Amino acid sequence: MQTDYFKDKRITVMGLGLLGRGIGDARYIAESGAKEVIVTDLKTETELASSVAELSDLSNIRFVLGGHKEENFSDTDLVLVAAGVPMDSVYLEVAKKAGAPLAQSAALFAKLSGIPIIGITGTRGKSTVTHMVHHVLSVATGEEILLGGNVRGVSNLQLLSKVAEDSLCVMELDSWQLQGFGWAEISPHVAVFTNFMEDHLNYYERGGKSKAEAMALYFKDKAQIFLHQEESGVLVTTPEVFEMTKTYLPKETLGQEVILADASVLPEDMLLSMPGEHNRLNAALAYEALLAMGLTEEEIFSGLASFPGVEGRLQLIGTLNGVRVFNDNNATTPQATTVALEALAGDEKNIVLIAGGADKNIDSSKLAEAIAAHAKLVLLTPGSGTDRLLVELTSLGFTEVVVVENLTQAVEEAKLAAVAPDCILFSPAFASFAQYKNEYERNDEFMQLMATHE
Q: For the segment 205-239, what is each residue's pLDDT rounded down to a tens digit? A: 888 899 999 999 999 999 999 999 999 999 999 99
pLDDT of residue 310: 86
pLDDT of residue 20: 82
pLDDT of residue 108: 98
| Contact (CB, 8 A) for 125 and 282 | yes
What average pLDDT does this structure show over 136-158? 95
What average pLDDT does this structure show over 160-170? 96
Rounded to the nearest 5°, which phi and psi values hold at 52?
A: -60, -40
Q: Which long-range contacts (CB under 8 A, 24 or more apart) does 158-164 make?
A: 158/24, 158/25, 158/27, 158/28, 159/109, 159/113, 160/1, 160/28, 160/109, 160/112, 160/113, 161/28, 163/1, 163/113, 163/115
Which one is predicted more confidently, 53 or 432? Answer: 53
Fold exhibited by the domain 106-305: UDP-N-acetylmuramoyl-L-alanine:D-glutamate ligase (3.40.1190)
For residue 434, pLDDT over 80 is answered with: no
Query: So what CATH class is 10-103?
Result: alpha beta
DSSP state of 433: T
Q: Dmax of the chain from CA atoms?
A: 66
Contacts of 61 (CB under 8 A, 6+ apart): 26, 30, 36, 37, 39, 55
| Contact (CB, 8 A) for 180 and 85 | no
For residue 181, pLDDT over 70 is answered with: yes
Instruction: Give the gyration radius of the chain's Cα atoms.
Output: 22
pLDDT of residue 169: 98
What average pLDDT does this structure show over 106-112? 98
Tell me if residue 453 falls in helix, strand or coil. Answer: helix
Q: Which residues pair with 11 in a beta bridge?
A: 37, 78
Stretch (H or E) spanning 71: helix 71-74
What average pLDDT does this structure show over 134-139? 98
Mean pLDDT of the chain: 94
Least confident among 261-275, 388-402, 420-434: 261-275
CA separation for the pair 11, 209 (Å, rounded): 33
Contacts of 412 (CB under 8 A, 6+ apart): 453
pLDDT of residue 453: 53
pLDDT confidence tier of residue 43, bands split at 50, 70 and 90: very high
Each domain of the chain, given as residue ranges in start order, spans 10-103, 106-305, 315-453
What average pLDDT does this structure show over 122-149? 96
What average pLDDT does this structure show over 67-78? 97
For residue 272, pLDDT over 90 is answered with: no
In CATH, what number does 315-453 get? Answer: 3.90.190.20
For residue 64, pLDDT over 70 is answered with: yes
Which one is predicted more confidently, 20 or 61? Answer: 61
Tell me if residue 280 falls in helix, strand or coil. Answer: helix
pLDDT confidence tier of residue 33, bands split at 50, 70 and 90: very high
For residue 308, which of 273, 344, 358 has the smallest C-alpha distance? Answer: 273
For residue 39, which of 7, 72, 6, 83 has the smallest C-alpha distance? Answer: 72
pLDDT of residue 433: 79
For residue 98, pLDDT over 70 is answered with: yes
| Contact (CB, 8 A) for 124 and 195 | yes
Supply angle C-alpha 343, 346, 348, rounded to 5. 140
pLDDT confidence tier of residue 270, bands split at 50, 70 and 90: confident
| Contact (CB, 8 A) for 188 and 118 | yes
For residue 19, pLDDT over 90 is answered with: no
pLDDT 10s digits, 329-362: 999 999 999 999 999 998 889 999 999 999 988 8
pLDDT 10s digits, 116-127: 999 999 999 999
